[in-house]
Each structure stands twice: as structure tokens, then as C-alpha cells.
Amino acid sequence: MTIEIVLAIFVTSIATYSSRFFGMLTSEKIDESSKIYRWFNCLAYSTLAALISRVLIFPNGVLIETSYFMRALVVLISVVIFFISKKNLVYPTVFSAIILAIINSY
């Protein structure tokens, strides 16, 4: 490896892990019921909703071959699974991939 690659890995690692370290140091002082915490929570959910909407409306790759109706159907089924599983994100994520694969195969 050249020195530039090693330096790039080192700098990006410092940037990534320093923010996580400072987050860990300050996390005990955060009040989960504060307005700023709720604002960041809403910001995270709105970003996730925007990404899901983008994939649904403007897909890339293999998703281009799937119709809007099928993509919307998978999202609706995933939302139902999300609420059935008591707001667990793992089940709808896994089932959405499985459901989309099954729908695309027909």
C-alpha cells in the first residue's frame, strides 16, 4: 500500500471514531425527554422516511423493473409487520427483501 492510502484510512478512521467517542462521553448527560433530543429523533425519522420515499419513487438498479404498485405494496406490508412486531425494525427489513424477491420472481 502507498502512504496516501494508509493516511486516508487513518484520517477517516479518526473522523469516524472520534465522533462516536465524544458521543459516548456526552450520552450520559442527555435527557431523553428534552426538546433537543426529541428534535433529533424526529430528524432521524424524517431522514429515513425521505430515503424510503426516494427508493419508492426513484428506484435504482433492479428496483427499476418493479412497478410502483408492487413497491408501494411491499412498503405497506412492511409497515404492518413493523407494528405487529412491536416496532422492531429487523422483521420488516428482512421480510421486505423476501416479499420483494417473491413478487419480482413472478
| Residue 9 to residue 20: CA distance in whole angstroms | 17
Cα–Cα distance list, 35 to 47, 62, 65 (Å): 18, 41, 43
51 or 104, which is more confident: 51
How much is the pLDDT for 1?
60
| Residue 13 to residue 22: CA distance in whole angstroms | 14
Residues in CB range of 68: below 8 A, 6 or more apart:
56, 57
| Residue 91 to residue 84: CA distance in whole angstroms | 10
Q: Quick one: how many helices (H) and strands (E) in the chain?
A: 4, 0
How much is the pLDDT for 53?
85
Q: Is residue 83 predicted with pLDDT exceeding 90?
A: yes
